[in-house]
Structure 1
Amino acid sequence: MNFPSVDYSWLGNGTVIAMIAIVHVIISHGVAIGTSVLTVSLEHRAFKTNNQKLDGLAKNIAKWILIITTTVGAMTGVGIWFSTTVIQPDSIGSLLRIFFWAWVTEWVCFITEVILLIIYYYTWDRWQDPEKKRKHIYIGVGLSIVSWLTMAIITGVLAAKLTPGKWIETFSFWNAFFNPTYLPSLGFRMFLAILLAIVLVSLFIRLFVKDLSLREESFKVFGFWGAISLPMTFVLGLWYLWSIPDQAYNMIVLATGMTESTFKIINGLALLILLVFSVWLIRSPKKVPIILSIAVFGASIGFIGEFEVVREYIRKPFIIYDYMYANGLLAQDREKMNEEGFLANATWAKEKEITEENKVEAGREVFVGQCIACHTIDGWRTKRALGKRLAGWDEEALKNYIPTMHTVRVAMPPFMGTEEELDALAAYLKSEIDRVNNEKEVSQNE
Structure 2
Amino acid sequence: MNFPVVEFPWLGNGTVIAIIAIVHVIVSHGVAIGITTLMVSMEHRAIHTNNEQLESVARKCSKWVLIFTTTVGAMTGVGIWFSTTVIQPDSIGSLLRIFFWAWFVEWIVFVTEVVLLIIYYFTWDKWKGAKKVIHNRIGIALAIFSWITAAIITGILSAKLTPGRWTETLSFWNAFFNPTYMPSLAFRTFIAIILGVALLSFPIKIFIKNKELQQEIFRVFSFWTAISLPGLLITGIWYLQSIPQEAYDMIVWSTGMTKNTFTIMNVLGLAAFVIFAFWMVLRPKKLPLLLSLAIFGTSMAFIAEFEAVRESVRKPFIIYNYMYANGVLAKNEDLYREEGYLKHSTFSPVKEVTSDNRAQAGMELYKGQCMACHTVDGWREKRAFSNRLNGWDEESIASYIETLHETRPFMPPFVGTEEEKKALAHYLSKVTKKEPVTAVSEGK
Q: CA deviation at 1:284?
A: 1.2
Counterpart of 1:376?
Answer: 375
Aligned to 1:443: none
Q: Say which SS state the counterpart of residue 8 (structure 1) adopts.
A: coil
Count of residues in Structure 1 that have an aligned counterpart in Structure 2: 436
The corresponding residue for 1:161 is 160
- Which amino acid is 1:59 matched to? R
Secondary structure, in 3 states, of the residue corresponding to 2:306? Answer: helix
Give TM-score, length-normalised by structure 1: 0.97
**How far 1:124 sits from its partner (Å)?**
0.9
Please state how far the C-alpha of 1:164 moved relative to its aligned partner.
0.3
The 8 Å contact of residues 387 and 436 in structure 1, kept in 2 or not, is answered as no
Supply the AA of the counterpart residue of 2:350: E
Q: Which amino acid aligns with 1:252?
A: I
1:38-117 paired onto structure 2 within 5 Å: 38-117=38-117
- Which string of whole-angstrom CA distances, capped at 9 and with x for unpartnered residues, describes residues 131-159 of structure 1? x1111111001001100000000000000
The runs of at least 4 consecutive aligned structure 1 residues that moved more than 2 Å come to none
- Between the aligned partners of 1:277 and 1:67, the Cα distance in structure 2 is 28
| C-alpha separation in 2, matches of 1:105 and 1:273 | 39
- Give CA deviations for 1:346-378 in whole Å, capped at 9, x if unaligned: 110100121111110011000000000000000
The residue number in structure 2 matching 1:425 is 424
Shift of 1:283: 1.1
The 2-side partners of 1:151 and 1:377 are apart by 36
Q: Is the 8 A contact 1:23 1:76 kept in 2?
A: yes
Is the contact between residue 388 and residue 436 of structure 1 (CA under 8 Å) also seen in structure 2? Answer: no
Query: In structure 2, what is the equivalent of residue 441 of structure 1?
Result: none
1:23 aligned onto 2:62: no
Q: Percent identity?
A: 61
**Residue 4 of structure 1 contacts residue 369 of structure 1 at CA under 8 Å; is this kept in 2?**
no
> Which residue does the alignment assign to 1:246?
245
Quick one: which amino acid aligns to residue 99 of structure 2? F
> SS in structure 2 opposite 1:336?
helix
SS of the residue corresponding to residue 3 of structure 2 reads coil
Query: How far did 1:241 drift?
Result: 0.3
Alpha-carbon offset, residue 5 of structure 1: 1.6
Match of 2:311 in 1: 312
Residue 436 (structure 1) shift: 7.4
Map 1:257-406; keep pairs closer than 5 Å. Answer: 257-406=256-405
- The superposition leaves residues 62-103 of structure 1 with CA deviations (integer Å, 9 ceiling, x where unpaired) of 110000110011111111111111110000000000000000
Measure the CA separation in 2 of the matches of 1:178 and 1:292: 39
| CA RMSD between the two structures | 0.9
1:129 Cα offset (Å):
1.1
The CA distance in 1 between the partners of 2:256 and 2:37, in whole Å, is 35
- 1:378 counterpart letter in structure 2: D
SS at match of 1:435: coil
| 8 A Cα contact 1:63 1:121, kept in partner | yes
Equivalent-residue separation in structure 1 for 2:261 and 2:189 (angstroms): 28
CA deviations 1:263-307 (Å, max 9, x no partner) are 000000000001100111111111110010001111110000000
SS in 2 for 1:383: helix
| Structure 1 unaligned regions, length at least 5 | 438-446
| 1:397-416 deviations in Å (ceiling 9; x for gaps) | 11111011000001100000
Q: For residues 426 and 198 of structure 1, what CA distance do their matches in structure 2 show?
A: 51
1:49 partner amino acid: T
1:390 Cα deviation (Å)?
0.4
Contact kept? 1:99, 1:173, Cα under 8 Å: yes
Matched residue, 1:440: none
Mapped partners of 1:149, 1:435: distance in 2:
51
CA distance in 1: counterparts of 2:278 and 2:191, whole angstroms: 17
- SS of alignment partner, residue 319 of structure 1: strand
User: Amino acid of the residue matched to residue 166 of structure 1?
Assistant: R
Contact 1:203 1:293 in 2 (8 A): yes
Aligned partners of 1:106 and 1:153 also within 8 Å: yes
SS at match of 1:374: coil
**Letter of the aligned partner of 2:44 in structure 1?**
H
Is contact 1:399–1:423 with CA below 8 Å preserved after alignment? yes
Secondary structure class of the residue paired with 2:127: coil
Q: How does 1:212-251 map to 2 (within 5 A)?
A: 212-251=211-250
Structure-2 residue corresponding to 1:442:
none
Counterpart-to-counterpart distance in 2, 1:397 and 1:115: 60
**2-structure distance, mates of 1:57, 1:216:** 13
**Residue of structure 2 in register with 1:444 after alignment:** none
**Alpha-carbon distance in structure 1 between the residues aligned to 2:435 and 2:108:** 49
Distance 2:201 2:433 in 1: 53
C-alpha distance in structure 2 between counterparts of 1:234 and 1:318, whole Å:
27
- Matched residues in 2 for 1:172 and 1:17: separation? 28
Letter in 2 for 1:332: K
